[in-house]
Structures are given as structure tokens and as C-alpha cells.
Structure 1
Amino acid sequence: MTGRLSRRGLTALALAAVLLVVSACQDTEAEPGAAASSQSQQPESQQPESQGPTPTASTPGTVSIDVTPKDKATKVSPAEGVQVKARSGRLGAVTVTDAAGQRVSGRLSADGTSWISEAPLKFATRYTVAVSAAEGAAEQRSTFTTVTPKKRVHTAVVPLNGETVGVGLPIQVSFNAPVTDRAAAERNLKVVSTPAVAGSWRWISDRKIRYRPQVYWPAGTKVTLKVGLRGVNLGRGVYGDEQREVSFTVGRSVVSVVDGKRLRMTVFVNGKPVRTIPVTMGKKGWETRNGVKVVLEKFPLKVMDGATLGIPKNSPEYYRLDVRWAVRMTWSGEFVHGAPWSTASQGTARVSHGCVGMSLENAQWYFGQSLRGDVIKVVNSPTTRTMELDNGFGDWNLSWQAWRAGSALR
């Protein structure tokens, strides 16, 4: 009995020794997970302070946004519009509203980094811009106020929208107030045509600008003038107030040559002579101007009164006539018209006060051919008088180089 008990005791002692060794190994060579678990059980006051992740473009609150106009800006030109850019990250919602809550339409870029308003703003209006980032940043808000102009400029345009015109008609834009920043106005008048045609603007005065091609418009050309002046600063507190398009079509080519020596008018249609007409022209002291003119307007019946030319009613030169088939070519009073009272002189003598007279039959035929803008070129009239630039449309009497020199963008 005593021997067996002694062996059991030895066995127990050996097991205890093994357990003691294993326990000691666990205390001195703990696994990392066990160490973290042990650390997490320390008092909260002893834990190290967390630093958080490094900020990136996708982290809320780190997107940098630029808004133009700047916050609290005043006297902003409506033409400048609103631009929003994200210098890091992408834009989320962008809203621009006026004081009444009406939204301004805009377009977000494909990559989501910029937004731009699509139409000019209103004058004298306070706007609020609210922007958020796609990454969830807090909304950014700003305000600005547009300018109150001293004068709002409107325009009158020749030709009319939808009109069919002759190959020599320039585009004319007239302003209801003087334009001092001509370059700003010109940059916002765009002409596009099919087929494409080389052309240029020229300022006639501070209230009038005209556009003509290098040569006559090709027959059949489709032309559109885009007036984008709304909100544009034209100088000295004057702002444009229009955004519109005017489209017109060029008809067939009708160019007439009036020869003051032969007293004949030859009409060319699409480059081919179709009729030569005996005419009379301005007599001495009233000679018809030389140069290129264009048809300005037409009247089946026109009362012509010498008083409009400054002729006194008691003068032997005075006249007052009912004139048929009158086609105006200058504002000063030159017409192509029917003149049955001068039939004997047509083709042989100059007896008019500057007009080109012909038989009623020929006048009616020519009237039917004519469109506003058809070309009438007078040559060999015995005078030094030539067609003035603004006595109608004398544009074609300038060389292309001289015409282009009148642009504010050259």
C-alpha cells in the first residue's frame, strides 16, 4: 500500500510541474491578440487619444468650393452669370434663387466638378447660392446683388426675322442709346450662315453697327444673327437688355448696272443679263450719285414732293407727282421708278432730279424682280458725287480692308 501511494504522489507532483511550466510560458509569451485584449481592459482614462483617418477628397467636410460672384458682391453684371467649382471632390446640389425663390437654371459638368448658370441674370436682383458636395459636406451659402443700370439698351435689326433679301443687304443693328464699349457689344453679336461666309462688323456711329460679307451674299444663303446683349456692360452705366435671334434667307442674285453715259440699265439675274432698259437720270445740278447702292424699300404708288429736297414751291424746279412702281435706293431721295412724262428722254437725256426713270412697263417689271437688298450700281454719271456710307447702305463702296478697319475687334 505504501509503495503504490508513493508512486501516485510522484505522478501528481510531475503533472503539477508540467502545468506550472505551461502557465509560465503563457504569461511571458502572450499573443498580440491577447495583449490587445488585455490593454482594452485598462481604465478608459488610461487609453491613448484617437487621431482619426487622414483627410481625403472623399472625406465629408474636406471639399473646397469656389463660387463666382463672391459672397456679398454688389453691382454684378447679369451677363457674368454664376460659376461654381470644386477644387477637390465633386459637387452635389447647386441652387441659385432670387428673392422670390425663383430658380436659375444651370448645367453640371460631366465630371461633377463645376456648375454654370445657363441664362443671363436679372438686373437689380439679390441672389442666393446654395452648394453642397457629393461627399456629404455641409451646405455652403453665399449671396450677391446684380447691378441697377442707368440705361437699358434695346436694338432694331435689319433684316426682319424670316425675311428673304437681296445679295447686297448688310445686317444692321441700331441701338436706342450710345454704345461706348463697342468691343463688348460686338463680341456679343454673332453671325452664322450656311454656307459659311467670311464677313465683318463695322461701326457706322455709336448707335449703329453693320455686318457685310467680303463679297455679296451667295444666293440661297441662310443667315442667323444671335443678339446676346442681355446684361452686357456697354459702358457708362449702359447695359444691353436683349437675348434673341434673327434669321433670314438670301434670295436669287439681282444686280443692276445703270450706265450714265449710255443711259441704259442692265439687270443681271444670277449673273446673266435678262433685260436692258432705256432710262433717264439726274440732270445738271441734280446728278445721280455714282457708286453701289441697294434697294431700301418699294412703293407701288409714291407721292414725290420737291419740298423734301428743299425745293421751294414757287421754284420752276418744284414738283409734286404720283409716281408708280417706286424702288428707293437712297434716303436722300433717289429712286428707280416709272416716269411716263419723260418717255422721250429715256435713253437719250438726263432730265430728272436724281432718280432713274423708265417706262411704266419696265418699271413694273423691275419692281416685281426687286427685293430689299438687291444691288444697283451706278457708273459714268457726270458728277463727282458718290454714294455715302449711310445714305442707305453704301457699304459696298468701301474696300474689304477699309470695311474691316471699322470693327472694334481689329
Structure 2
Amino acid sequence: MRVAADTPYARASTAAADKAAGGHNDGAGKASGARPAPSVPEPAVLAQARVNISDGQTVGVGMPISVTFSQPVPAAERKGVESWLRVQTSSGTRGAWSWVKDHNLLDGQRVDFRPSTTYWQSGTQITLSLGSHGARRFTIGRSLLATVDAKTHMMTVRTGGTAQRIQVTTGAPGTDTWNGTMVVMDKQPKVYMDSRTVGLGDTYHGYYYWAVHLTTSGTYVHQNPRANTEAGHRNVTHGCVGLASNGTAQRFYDRVRVGDVVTVTGADKDTVAAGNGYGDWNLTWKQWLAHSETGATTTA
């Protein structure tokens, strides 16, 4: 099932900013030294910046740091904005900012930070400083990676060294599930879904339970009554990943947290866009850096 939805962003704190310094790219692709102080005045857009992670929150290994602005940042000013967004980590993470076209926003209204070639390391402590407009401190929790195979109708959930296989049903032909890597945006015990909000006519409307939100366009993993007979056998949904109501859906809901990773393979559909939720990991590192103004940094 799908429902038009947007993720609420928490407004940046007004606490005193940390003056955390990380590494910077020396132009030869290597991280070097302490990141220099910004060479431009603090951008006014930081005053209204919104951050997707709350102060003190623990998130999954796939959650990028995402900062959105009340108005588009002109291309000529984006390097200055990046230079004022300081990321400090306890694990010396190599990563970069990149400008992402958000599903619901204009170009230049969202910039994300993610590690280079893999997800965050569990246990990493992170501080994001937004100039004089405060700081956020948060933690990367245990790793949970779920892989959905639309062809075999199975989902494998890996946590640490354990793996569990769960029968699922994904999008039926014509309403296929997005391929690619998605990140849990939020989750709710029940969500009202209406097919008319996503252009599918009057095919469904009502509450669906144990809803784990994956994309802004409305992809969820949730309980679906049809999964009681079809999971593991056929794909019958309108684009979501359906789980049975025998406790399977609730158990998955209880296990996952915001920032956990769900990857779909084998669906007859394109790869989800980077800005449709947190599809950042669908871009190669080279593609990611192509939209960065300050390049790769090694945080410290």
C-alpha cells in the first residue's frame, strides 16, 4: 500500500554551537589535517535549518544526516553552507555532504552527509554543529539490514551475526515495489492509507497496522491481511511490502528503529531516487561526490 507522506524534520536546537573540526579533502582524494575554519560569513539559511535526527537520538546504521532549508540555496552559496555544517564522529568516519533533490522540495533545499563506502559503524557518537544555531549529538545503534527478494517473496533480516527469513508479498505487476536501498524514516502502529492520494483510484482506504515507513512517496513494510495467504507465494500489494497478521508484522515493527536499512531486489521497477526518503545509498561514491562542494572529509 502507499500513502502520500512527508517526514517531519526536527528544528535545529538553539544551544551554543560546538566548534568541532574534522578532516578535509586535500584535493588529491586524501583526507588531511584539521578542517579549516569557514572562509565565508555564516549563511543566513542556517537559522531556519531543520535536521532529521533529534538531539540524543539513537538511529540505525543507514541514516544519513539530512539538513533541509526553508528556501533553496543558490549553487554559488552551497560551498559556504557545507563549510559551516561541521560533523564530528568518534570513529574517524570518511564521508561527504551532497545536495539531494528531495521528493517534496526544490533543488537546493536539502543537503545530506553519509559515509563513503559503507554504513555507519555501530556505536559511533556523532555531533553535527550548525554554526551559531546549535548542535545535535546522536548515536549509531546496532546494525539491522533487511533484504527483500521480490522474486522469491522472502525477506532476510540480519542483526549482528544472526539472520531470519520472513515470507512477504510485494507489489503486484503494475504497482511494483521500488528496487534499491531504503532507510526507515519513521514507524507508526497504524497509518491511514488512501489510494486516491497516490493516483491509484478508489482501490483501498483504511488503517493499516505496524507500518514501517520507507519512502516519501508512500512505501511501507506493514501488516497486510492478504499476506496471510499470499506471503511467500505471490506479489499482490500496491507497492508496499506486506507481512502476515499472525504476529509477523508486529515482531518486525518492534525490532526496527529509524535509520535501519531495507533493500529490495528483483522487483520490476526502477531504483528508488536518492531524495525519495533516504535513498542516498543508491548512489555510488563517485556520484555522491559529484553533488558535493567541499568533497570528502575524515571526521574526528
TM, length-normalised to structure 2? 0.78
How do 1:73-222 and structure 2 match up within 5 A? Answer: 153-180=47-74, 181-204=77-100, 205-214=107-116, 215-222=118-125
- Distance in 1 separating the partners of 2:93 and 2:209: 37
Give 1 or 2: higher helix fraction: 1
- Aligned pair count reads 244
2:190 alignment counterpart: 301
1:291 alignment counterpart: 180
* Structure 2: unaligned runs, 5 residues or longer: 1-40, 101-106, 296-300
CA offset digits 1:260-280 (Å, max 9, x no partner)? 11100010002431x211000
Kindly state the Cα deviation for residue 331 of structure 1 after the two structures are TM-superposed: 1.1
- Distance in 2 separating the partners of 1:397 and 1:306: 27
- The letter for the 2-side match of 1:248 is F
1:281 alignment counterpart: 170
- Distance in 1 separating the partners of 2:292 and 2:135: 21
Cα RMSD of the aligned pairs, angstroms, is: 1.7
**Cα gap change, 1:226 to 1:152, in 2 (>3 Å):** closer
How do 1:315-334 and structure 2 match up within 5 A? Answer: 318-334=203-219
Q: Does the CA contact (< 8 Å) of 2:168 and 2:227 recur in 1?
A: no
* Structure 1: unaligned runs, 5 residues or longer: 1-146, 229-241
- The letter for the 2-side match of 1:400 is W
SS in 2 for 1:184: helix
Kindly state the Cα deviation for residue 255 of structure 1 after the two structures are TM-superposed: 0.3
- Distance in 1 separating the partners of 2:178 and 2:114: 22
- Distance in 1 separating the partners of 2:45 and 2:159: 46
SS in 2 for 1:308: helix
Q: Does the CA contact (< 8 Å) of 1:153 and 1:176 recur in 2?
A: no
**Cα gap change, 1:190 to 1:151, in 2 (>3 Å):** closer
Q: Does the CA contact (< 8 Å) of 1:259 and 1:265 recur in 2?
A: yes
Kindly state the Cα deviation for residue 207 of structure 1 after the two structures are TM-superposed: 1.4
Kindly state the Cα deviation for residue 195 of structure 1 after the two structures are TM-superposed: 1.3
CA offset digits 1:198-257 (Å, max 9, x no partner)? 1100012311100001110011111000111xxxxxxxxxxxxx4211011111000000
**Cα gap change, 1:167 to 1:286, in 2 (>3 Å):** same
Kindly state the Cα deviation for residue 342 of structure 1 after the two structures are TM-superposed: 3.1
2:7 alignment counterpart: none
Q: Does the CA contact (< 8 Å) of 2:59 and 2:257 recur in 1?
A: yes
- Distance in 1 separating the partners of 2:165 and 2:120: 24
Q: Which has the higher contact order (CA 8 A, sep 6+)?
A: 2
Q: Does the CA contact (< 8 Å) of 2:47 and 2:133 recur in 1?
A: no
- The letter for the 2-side match of 1:367 is Y
**Cα gap change, 1:271 to 1:394, in 2 (>3 Å):** farther
SS in 2 for 1:403: helix
SS in 2 for 1:340: coil
Residue 403, structure 1, aligned to residue 288, structure 2: yes
Residue 374, structure 1, aligned to residue 260, structure 2: yes
- Distance in 2 separating the partners of 1:187 and 1:150: 13
Residue 345, structure 1, aligned to residue 230, structure 2: yes
Q: Does the CA contact (< 8 Å) of 2:45 and 2:69 recur in 1?
A: no
Q: Does the CA contact (< 8 Å) of 1:161 and 1:246 recur in 2?
A: yes
- Distance in 2 separating the partners of 1:290 and 1:178: 29
- The letter for the 2-side match of 1:376 is V
**Cα gap change, 1:288 to 1:250, in 2 (>3 Å):** same
2:273 alignment counterpart: 388
1:44 alignment counterpart: none
- Distance in 2 separating the partners of 1:288 and 1:271: 28
2:143 alignment partner, one of 253, 258, 265: 253
2:200 alignment counterpart: 311
Give 1 or 2: higher strand fraction: 1
- The letter for the 1-side match of 2:196 is A
Deviant stretches of 4+, over 2 Å: 149-153
Indicate the structure (1 or 2) with the bigger Cα radius of gyration.
Answer: 1
Residue 364, structure 1, aligned to residue 257, structure 2: no
Deviates more, 1:243-252 or 1:173-182: 173-182
